[in-house]
Amino acid sequence: MTGITVAAKYINPAIRIIGVQTEACPAMLKSYEDNTLYEEYPREESLCDALLGGVGTLSYEMAKDYVDDFIAVLEDSIAKAVSFMA
| 62 Cβ contact list (under 8 Å, min separation 6) | 2, 5, 6
Tell me the pTM. 0.73
**CATH code of the domain in which 16 resides:** 3.40.50.1100
Q: What is the pLDDT of residues 31-80, one digit of tens each?
A: 989 999 888 876 667 666 655 667 888 888 888 889 999 998 888 888 89
List the domain range (segments joined by +) for residue 60. Answer: 2-85
Please tell me the total number of residues recorded for the chain in this structure.
Answer: 86
Q: What are phi and psi of 78, to 5 degrees?
A: -65, -45
Alpha-carbon span 25 to 23, nearest angstrom: 5
Taking phi over 0 as left and psi of -120 to 50 as alpha, with beta for the rest, 62 belongs to: alpha
Q: Give the model's pLDDT for residue 48.
A: 66
The total number of structural domains that make up the chain: 1
Residue type, 66: Y
